[in-house]
Structure 1
Amino acid sequence: MAPVTMKSATPSDNVDGHGRVKRFSKRSRTGCRTCRARRIKCDETPGQCTNCTSTKRICEGYEVCRIPPARGPRTAKASAASVCIQNPSLATLQRDISSRVQWKVTSDESRCLSFFQYRSVPQLVAFFDSPVWQRLILQLCYNEPAVFHAVVALGAVNQGHESARRRLAHNPRPAHRKTLQSQEEWYLFALEQSGRSFALLNKRRMSEDPYLQTVILVCCLLFVMCELLHRNIATAITHVQSGLRILNALKIERHVCGLNLTGPSAFDELVVESFLSLQGSSVFFGTREPLPVDQSFVFTQPYGVYLGDCTDGTGAGAGSCFSSLQQARKVLSPLQHTLWLFVAKCMHADDAERAAMYTALENQQHLLLTYFTRFLHVFDAFCLSTYGTTTFESACSRGLSGAEVNTAERRARRGAELTRLSVLSSILSVKNALLGAAQAQPPQYTAESIGVLDAAENAMRNVKADMHGDSPTLTPQSEIVPALFLAALRCPDIGVGCRAITAAREWGAEEGFLSASMCADILEEALRMRLQRGFEGAGEVLEGVSFDVRGDGRVTARILYDVHGEEKEHVVVLERNEALVADLLAIDGSRDWPCVRALGLLDHVL
C-alpha cells in the first residue's frame, strides 16, 4: 500500500468557485455555547449573541472557563483500544453515546466525554467489573443532561490530573507552577460543568419522575469522584452525605436475597452498593450518620447462616465452596461494610470511651473475626478449585489459549486476588481494632502483617502488569492502599513500615477516600517519630538503624531491612514533614481524622 502524503496548499486550493481568495484564520476559542456547538462564528454580543437571537435560538451564554487546547497526537481512543476489543458490548455502547446525545455538545465537552469513556472508565473498573460505571452511567449519559455534565466534569478533572502527573514526572521542578496552573484550568472547567448539572437537577427537584432518584444518586457518585481526584476531601464528604440522606429516607434493609428496594430498575441496588462502598472509606474522614444497613444484618441477624447457605449447602465447613466470584463478593460485601464502620468507631473513640464500650465491642470483634475466618476458609477452597492457587503469584492457563488467559481469566484472577487481599487485611484490622491509640501491635501478629504486605505487593504487580505498567489513577474501591497502611501502621517490625511506604509511593493511586501518596506520607511521619524517640533514647532499641549527624545538626536515619533474603535501605531525615502538615491543614476537619489524632500530626499547630 502506497504511503499517504499530505500536500501543502497551493494558490488554486485557496480560491472558491467565484474566483475569490479564501482567507484562513485560526479558529476562535471564544463565542457562546450554542454557536460553538453549531460550529459557526459567534458575534459575541454581550449577554446573548445576535446569531442566536436573530434566528430565534436559545443562546446558552458564554463559558467562563475553557480547558487547555489539545496538543500532540490524540491518544485517548487508542489507549483504550484493547479495552474495547475485550468487551465488544462496551465498545458498541461507547460508539452509541457519541451519536445519540440529544443536545448540542461543545468541543471541550466532547474531549472530556471521550476521555471519560476511553481512559476514566477502564481505571474505575481496574479492580472489579462494575455495571454502574461500565453500563448505567454511560447509558444515562446520553439521556440525562445532568449526568452528561457530571461525566464531563469527571473526565476534565481526570485528564488534568493525568496531564499534571506526566509533566511533573518528566520535569518536576521547573514545570511545577505551570503544571498547577494547567490543572486548575481543568478543575475550573469541571466546576462549571458540575454547576450545570446541579442547575438541571434543581429544575427537576419537584418532578415525580421515578428515575430522578437514580439520576441524583449517580450524579452524587460522579461529584464525589471529581472531588476525590482533586483532593477536596471535605467537599467529597458533603456529596457522600447528600447521597446517604436520600438512601436513609428509603429505609433500606438487607435481606438474604439482597437489598430491599422499591426502585424503578435493577440498577438501583448497584448504585446503593456503590454508596455503601464509598461510605466505608469515608467514615474515617468525616462522614457522619452512616447507613446501618449491614451492621444490623451482620450483628443482629444470622449472617453465619447466610454464609453457609451461599455455599453448596453443607454450610461453611470443609468441602463447601462458592459457585462463582460474583457470589463470593456478594456474600463478603455486607461483612466488609460492617468492618469499616466497626473499625472507624473504635478509632474515633478515645481510650476512656473505648473502655466504656469494651464489652460490646469485644463481642462484635469476636463475631467479625469468626465470620472473616470462615469466609477465608471457603474462599480459599473456591480459589484452589477454580484457579489452582491462593497466592496468584503466576498465571495458570488451565488449558486456555494465551489470548483467553490475558482477558477473561486474568481479570477474574485479579478480582479473586484482590478479594482475598481484602479479607486478609480485614482480619488483621479486626485484631488490632481495640488497641489503644499509642499501643503497638502484639509481636505475634507480625507474621500476619508481612503476609498482608506480601499479598498487597503481589496484587500491585499483577494489576500494573494488566494495565501495561501503570497504576490506576482513581478507583471507587479501596483495596491495596488500606492493606499497605494496616500492615505497617502498628507493626513493630520497622522493615514492614519501610516496605509499605515504598510500595505506596510506587502505587500512587487514589482508592476511594484513601490516597496512596498521603498514606505514604503519614506512615513515614509515624516512622520518623518512632526513629526520633529512638535517637533521643526515649524509645525502644531499633535493630538495623544507624543515625548520621551532619555538621548543621540535621539527623538522618538509615534503616537496613530484609525482603525475602535481599537487603534494602530506607533513609529518613528526622525533620517534620511540613508539606504534609500544610496539606492536612488545608483540608477541613482533618484534625478529627483518627490517624491524625492518634499520631499527633497537628498537635503542634494552634
Structure 2
Amino acid sequence: MCHEEPAVRHAVVALSSLHEDLEVRGAPLSRENLSLAHHRFALGQYGRSLGVLNERRNSQDPKFRDIVLTCCLLFVAFEFMRGQYQLALSHLRQGVCIIEEARSSHDGLTVSTNMETAEKSLQAAMARLETYSVFFGLDPVARLGQAPTDWSLIKFSTVSEARNAFDMVLAQAVRFLSATYKFPLKERLPILHPELAEMQIKANFQMSQYLRQFNYSALQPQDKKEERGINLIRLQHLQFSITLQTVLSDDDRFIFIGYLEEFKRIIALCKTISNSFAEENPTGTRPKLLLDVGILPSLLLVGWKCHEFPVRQQALALLEAWPHREGIWDSRLLALFLKQLLHVELGTIQASGDPQSPMRMSTTRCLRFDQGERTATLHYETGNCGEYGPQSKVILFEEDIQ
C-alpha cells in the first residue's frame, strides 16, 4: 500500500518519524514539541495523508475503504504517540464504524487485496484497541461475532485461534463494563440494576468456559512469541475476570482482600512477559511502543487495588523498569498515578495510627489532566476508621515532564 497509495505512505512516514524520536528520547511524558524537527516533519506528513484522503472522499475506487481503514489505524497510533487521546479515540471510532458498516452491508469485511490475513489483522487491531479504550470513556461498537454457547465443542489448535476466541469473550465483557461505568460508584449494586447483574453472570460464565477450553487445548508454543502470546492471554483473562467479579460493588475498599494470590500471579506473569521482550533482542532492550495491549492495565489493577503494599510496590517497580506505551496506556503516566496514590494511602495510615486500618484503601475516583497535560488532579476519598470520619481531598501535582 505504501508503494501504491500516497495517503498510506504519508501516514506511515509520519508514524515512523515519531517512533524514531521515541526510540532516541525514550518514553517521556512530554508530548508534541514542534521545536523538534522530527515532530514538525511528522505533523506535516500526517496533514498530507489527511489531505489526500479528503481529496478522494467521494472516490468509487473499490480499494478506497481498505485505504481509509489502514490510514485510520495509523492515525490512531500517531495520535496516541502525540498524547492527543481524544483525536485518537475519534479515529478509532471511525475505523470501527467502517468495519461495522462493511460487515452489515456485505456480510463480512472484504478487502480488495484479497488478503484474508490482513483483513483479520486490521479488524483485530481495531477491536483490541477499542476493548481497552472503554476504560477511557469510549462506548464499544465492534461486534466480533458471538462467543460460542457450547464451549465443549471448541479445541484450539493454534495460539491465534485461541486469541481470536478470547477477543469475542472480551467483547461481551467490555459491553457489560461499559454499561456499568455509566453509573456512579455508589449506585453499582446488583439489586439496583438486575439487567447488569444478568450481564455479569453471562460474562463471568463465558470467561470461565473459555479458560476451561483453553487449558484443555494444551497449546504448545512454537517459539518465544507464541509463548508470550499464551502468557498474555492468561494475564488478560485473569485481569478481566477480577474486574468482572468486583465491578458491581458500591465500595471496593474491601472486596479485593480475597484476591491476593491472583494479584501475585499477575505480577509473575508480567515479569515473564516483560523479560521475554528483552530475551528476543540481542541488546536486551525492549520496545518503547506496542500497538497491542500487554502488561500495563494489569499492573495498574494490582497497584491500585491490592491490599498488600509490597505487592503494589512490585507493580510500580515493573512500570518504572520498562518505560513504554501500549496503545493508549503510558507506563510513566501510570507510575506517576500509583506513586501519588501510595503516598496518599501511606499518609492515611499514619494519620489513623493503625497499620491495619481499612482506611488505607482509599476509594479513588479519577485522575484528571489539564488540556496541556502539565498538571493533574487526583480525586479520592477515604473510608471510616474509628474516630476518623470520611475524608475528601484533592491532590494537585505538577510533574516536570520534559
User: What's the TM-score once normalised by structure 2's chain length?
Assistant: 0.82
Residue of structure 1 equivalent to 2:10:
149
Residue of structure 2 equivalent to 1:441:
255
| Equivalent-residue separation in structure 1 for 2:332 and 2:52 (angstroms) | 36
Where relative contact order (Cα < 8 A, 6+ residues apart) is larger, the structure is 2
| Equivalent-residue separation in structure 1 for 2:60 and 2:267 (angstroms) | 50
Q: Deviations over 1:288-344 (max 9, x none)?
A: 4x21515x825xxxx232x33332xxxxxxxxxx21212111211111233234334
Q: Within the alignment, does 1:527 sit opposite 2:342 as a pair?
A: yes
Rg comparison, structure with higher value: 1
Aligned 8 A contact 1:440 1:490 in 2: no
Residue of structure 2 equivalent to 1:363:
198
Q: Within the alignment, does 1:206 sit opposite 2:58 as a pair?
A: yes
Q: Within the alignment, does 1:335 sit opposite 2:150 as a pair?
A: no
For structure 1, list consecutive stretches of 5 or more residues without a partner in the other structure.
1-139, 169-175, 312-321, 388-407, 546-579
* AA matched with 2:316: I
Secondary structure at the residue paired with 2:83? coil
| Equivalent-residue separation in structure 2 for 1:199 and 1:180 (angstroms) | 21
| Equivalent-residue separation in structure 2 for 1:516 and 1:497 (angstroms) | 15
Aligned 8 A contact 2:224 2:276 in 1: no
Residue of structure 2 equivalent to 1:426:
240
* AA matched with 1:536: A
Tell me which of 321, 328, 333 is aligned to 1:506. Answer: 321
| Equivalent-residue separation in structure 2 for 1:538 and 1:282 (angstroms) | 40
Residue of structure 2 equivalent to 1:271:
122
Residue of structure 1 equivalent to 2:371:
586
Aligned 8 A contact 2:186 2:250 in 1: no
| Equivalent-residue separation in structure 1 for 2:322 and 2:340 (angstroms) | 18
Call closer, same or farther: CA 1:514–1:539 in 2, change over 3 Å. farther
| Equivalent-residue separation in structure 2 for 1:253 and 1:472 (angstroms) | 39
Residue of structure 2 equivalent to 1:310:
154
Q: Within the alignment, does 1:260 sit opposite 2:102 as a pair?
A: no
Residue of structure 2 equivalent to 1:376:
211
Aligned 8 A contact 1:440 1:491 in 2: no
| Equivalent-residue separation in structure 2 for 1:587 and 1:366 (angstroms) | 41
- Residue 436 of structure 1: how far off its partner (Å): 2.9
Call closer, same or farther: CA 1:292–1:160 in 2, change over 3 Å. closer
Q: Within the alignment, does 1:225 sit opposite 2:77 as a pair?
A: yes
Call closer, same or farther: CA 1:463–1:532 in 2, change over 3 Å. same
Aligned 8 A contact 1:526 1:599 in 2: no
Residue of structure 1 equivalent to 2:386:
none
* AA matched with 1:240: L
Q: Within the alignment, does 1:492 sit opposite 2:307 as a pair?
A: yes
Call closer, same or farther: CA 1:230–1:272 in 2, change over 3 Å. same
Q: Within the alignment, does 1:417 sit opposite 2:231 as a pair?
A: yes
| Equivalent-residue separation in structure 2 for 1:597 and 1:365 (angstroms) | 27
Tell me which of 283, 293, 297 is aligned to 2:143. Answer: 293
Call closer, same or farther: CA 1:586–1:602 in 2, change over 3 Å. farther
Call closer, same or farther: CA 1:219–1:181 in 2, change over 3 Å. closer
Q: Within the alignment, does 1:325 sit opposite 2:159 as a pair?
A: yes
- Residue 221 of structure 1: how far off its partner (Å): 0.7
Secondary structure at the residue paired with 1:284? helix
Q: Deviations over 1:414-438 (max 9, x none)?
A: 2222222222222222222223355
Aligned 8 A contact 2:77 2:291 in 1: yes
User: What's the TM-score once normalised by structure 1's chain length?
Assistant: 0.56
- Residue 159 of structure 1: how far off its partner (Å): 0.8
Call closer, same or farther: CA 1:510–1:381 in 2, change over 3 Å. same
| Equivalent-residue separation in structure 1 for 2:194 and 2:98 (angstroms) | 33
Q: Deviations over 1:152-190 (max 9, x none)?
A: 000010111121129x8xxxxxxx99x986873312211
| Equivalent-residue separation in structure 1 for 2:100 and 2:193 (angstroms) | 28
Secondary structure at the residue paired with 2:76? helix
Call closer, same or farther: CA 1:334–1:539 in 2, change over 3 Å. farther
| Equivalent-residue separation in structure 2 for 1:539 and 1:229 (angstroms) | 43
| Equivalent-residue separation in structure 1 for 2:318 and 2:69 (angstroms) | 34
- Residue 527 of structure 1: how far off its partner (Å): 1.6
| Equivalent-residue separation in structure 2 for 1:286 and 1:160 (angstroms) | 29
| Equivalent-residue separation in structure 2 for 1:504 and 1:336 (angstroms) | 24
| Equivalent-residue separation in structure 2 for 1:488 and 1:436 (angstroms) | 20
- Residue 367 of structure 1: how far off its partner (Å): 2.0
Call closer, same or farther: CA 1:358–1:195 in 2, change over 3 Å. same
Aligned 8 A contact 1:253 1:293 in 2: no
Call closer, same or farther: CA 1:180–1:444 in 2, change over 3 Å. closer
Q: Within the alignment, does 1:476 sit opposite 2:291 as a pair?
A: yes
Secondary structure at the residue paired with 2:200? helix
Call closer, same or farther: CA 1:437–1:268 in 2, change over 3 Å. farther
* AA matched with 1:304: T
Q: Deviations over 1:546-584 (max 9, x none)?
A: xxxxxxxxxxxxxxxxxxxxxxxxxxxxxxxxxx98x82
| Equivalent-residue separation in structure 2 for 1:219 and 1:474 (angstroms) | 18
| Equivalent-residue separation in structure 2 for 1:479 and 1:183 (angstroms) | 32
Residue of structure 2 equivalent to 1:162:
23
| Equivalent-residue separation in structure 1 for 2:354 and 2:103 (angstroms) | 51
* AA matched with 1:491: C
Residue of structure 2 equivalent to 1:89:
none
Secondary structure at the residue paired with 2:276? helix
Secondary structure at the residue paired with 2:157? coil
Call closer, same or farther: CA 1:292–1:181 in 2, change over 3 Å. closer
Aligned 8 A contact 2:15 2:42 in 1: yes
| Equivalent-residue separation in structure 2 for 1:232 and 1:599 (angstroms) | 29
Identity %: 22
Q: Within the alignment, does 1:345 sit opposite 2:193 as a pair?
A: no
Call closer, same or farther: CA 1:293–1:521 in 2, change over 3 Å. same
* AA matched with 2:279: A
Aligned 8 A contact 1:310 1:331 in 2: no
* AA matched with 1:351: L
* AA matched with 1:362: A
Q: Within the alignment, does 1:236 sit opposite 2:21 as a pair?
A: no
Secondary structure at the residue paired with 1:304? coil
Residue of structure 2 equivalent to 1:458:
272
